[in-house]
Each structure stands twice: as structure tokens, then as C-alpha cells.
Structure 1
Amino acid sequence: MANRNNAILESLGSGLIGAGVLTALHETARHLIDEAPRADLLGMRAIQKVMEKTDAEPPDDRELHTWALGGDLVSNALYYSLIGLTKPRHALLAGAALGLAAGAGAVGLPGPLGLGTEPTRRTTATAAMTVGWYLIGGLAAAGAYAFFKKRRKNAE
């Protein structure tokens, strides 16, 4: 049971590291690069849409931004924690696949979901950064997962 709990914590921790790296990239770049993706705007729009559908009043933009970042961290951490379904020797490939799939979704899905295409597809550079940063998040999750597994194996 302890090993199973450790495996779950390793997966969740790895996912959180990947999500943290991704969020740090997004938040830093949006202040420094004109064409940077704006995942925060997608999150804010999604929250606003849900709140409006339920006749709830969305908070002001500052609080909405905070909610969006929190939602991004939680959802991306859970997504990247899927790295725990692979063997450590396949972590890099799995992390890359998770990152590329998330990046492709972040570029392709917002339009059909009614969230707009500008935040992640405004220019070719914006789309490339979007995919690249989700890939980096997946690779960070993979690196953390391999590290946690190796550390546990060495401790046993």
C-alpha cells in the first residue's frame, strides 16, 4: 500500500512540476514577448462562459486572472500526472507525447469551444510557442517522474 501511495504522490508531484514550469513560462513570456500565447485569457474566458451560463456574476479581471491561473495549474497538473502510467524508462517519450498533445489541443480547440483563436494562434510564432511550452511542461513532468522513481529505487 505504501508503494502505491508513493507512486500516486510521485505522479501528482511530477504533474505539478510540469504544470508549474508551463505556467511560469506563460506568465513570464506574456510580459516580455508581444506574440506570446495567452493561456490566461483562455482560462478567464472559460470561467466567464461557465459563470454566465449559470447566471453567476464573474469577478473582476484581477480575481478572474487568479482563478484562471489556479485552474490552469490544477488541470495541467492532473493532466501531466498521467506520466505515472508509464515506466520510468519511457518517461521522456510519454512526457513529450503528453506535451505535444496538450499543445496541439491548446492551439486547435479554443476556436471550436468558443474561446477565440487569438490567445494561442494569433501568429505562427504564437502557435509554435504554445506547442513548445506545453512540450516543455511535459518534459519537465517526465524529468521529475524519472527523478522520483530513481530516488525511491535507490532508497529501497
Structure 2
Amino acid sequence: MNIFKAITAGFIGSLTLNFLHLRVRPLSLNFQSKNYLNEPINLDSFEQINDPLIDNRDDYDKNLLSNIISNTLFFSTIGFGKPQNFYFRGLTLGLAAGLSAAKWPDKINLKKEQIEMRKKSNVTTAAIYIAGGLVTAALLSLLKKK
């Protein structure tokens, strides 16, 4: 597989992962963000996200950029090897990354409330990484045909 195609597919998989992380994971954590009428607010802007893991916008932007770059490189490895194994590699790499992302916070000395909040979303986190791997595999399969 062409390295440009592999990196492109990895980038799309990484964007998928980050999009799902920003849109689906807050739902699994039951964010308590409310407006003054006690109705759920729209999570479209950064200021409306009540995530105690995010300290400021600058840190958030740097973290998001580093996640996109590292996940792009990680998911691009799906493109190397036999094309008939794209989906298997996407599934296994996504599962491995998802389980690591779900279990790693317990080991890095986070605050107790951060660990408890992350435990609520372990299955969602693993599923999001699997989705990123499978999107990468699907795109690689399409690019292989061209």
C-alpha cells in the first residue's frame, strides 16, 4: 500500500475517533451541563463543555492536535501488509488502543474523581477506537481498488 494512501486513511480514522470522542463520550459520562432553564445545552462550543479534565482552551487545542497526529500515524499502520487483512488489523489495533486508553488512566496517578469518571466510559472509549480502526480499514479497502 502506498504510504500516502495509508496516512490519508489513518488521518480520516483519527478524525473519526476524535469526532466520536467529542460527541459520544460526553453522553456516556452523563455530563451535567445545563442552562438557566434547566434544559440540556448544546455542546457545540468549547465553553459549554463542563469537563473537569480540561483546564483551558490552549491545553485542549494542543491535546487535540497531538491526538490527531499520533492516531493518524497509529491507524496508518493498518495499511501495511496484505490488503485482505485490513479489517482484521483495523479491529485488532482499534481494540488494543481502546483498551489501553480505557485502562491506562488508572496507572498514571490521576485524581480519584478523574479515574471514577473515566471508568464510566471504558466500553465507549474502546468502541470509539475500534470505530476509528474500522473506518481506516474501510477507506484503505476503497483506496486499494483505485
In the superposition, the TM-score normalised over structure 2's length comes to 0.75
Q: Is the partner of 1:86 in helix, strand or coil? A: coil
| Distance (Å, rounded) in 1 between the aligned partners of 2:3 and 2:87 | 18
1:29-68 correspondence to structure 2 within 5 Å: 29-30=24-25, 33-35=27-29, 61-68=56-63
Aligned length: 124
**Structure 2 equivalent of residue 25 of structure 1:** 20
| Distance (Å, rounded) in 2 between the aligned partners of 1:11 and 1:29 | 26
Query: How much does 1:135 deviate?
Result: 0.4
> Which 5+ residue runs of structure 1 have no aligned equivalent?
1-5, 45-59, 152-156
**Following superposition, which runs of at least 4 residues in structure 1 exceed 4 angstroms of deviation?**
none
| Distance (Å, rounded) in 1 between the aligned partners of 2:16 and 2:61 | 17
| Distance (Å, rounded) in 2 between the aligned partners of 1:144 and 1:93 | 14
> Which 5+ residue runs of structure 2 have no aligned equivalent?
31-50
| Distance (Å, rounded) in 2 between the aligned partners of 1:145 and 1:113 | 34
**Structure 1 equivalent of residue 81 of structure 2:** 86
Query: How much does 1:86 deviate?
Result: 2.4
**Structure 1 equivalent of residue 102 of structure 2:** 107
Query: How much does 1:119 deviate?
Result: 5.1
Query: How much does 1:14 deviate?
Result: 1.1
Residue number among 112, 118, 121 corresponding to 1:120 in the alignment: 118
Please state which structure has a larger fraction of its residues in helix: 1
Q: CA deviation digits over 1:101-151, x for unaligned, max 9?
A: 000000111221234534532x2xx11101101000000010111111111
Residue number among 57, 68, 71 corresponding to 1:73 in the alignment: 68
In the superposition, the TM-score normalised over structure 1's length comes to 0.71
AA at the equivalent of 1:120: R
**Structure 2 equivalent of residue 95 of structure 1:** 90
AA at the equivalent of 1:142: A
Could you say what the CA RMSD is over the residues aligned between the two structures, in angstroms?
Answer: 2.4
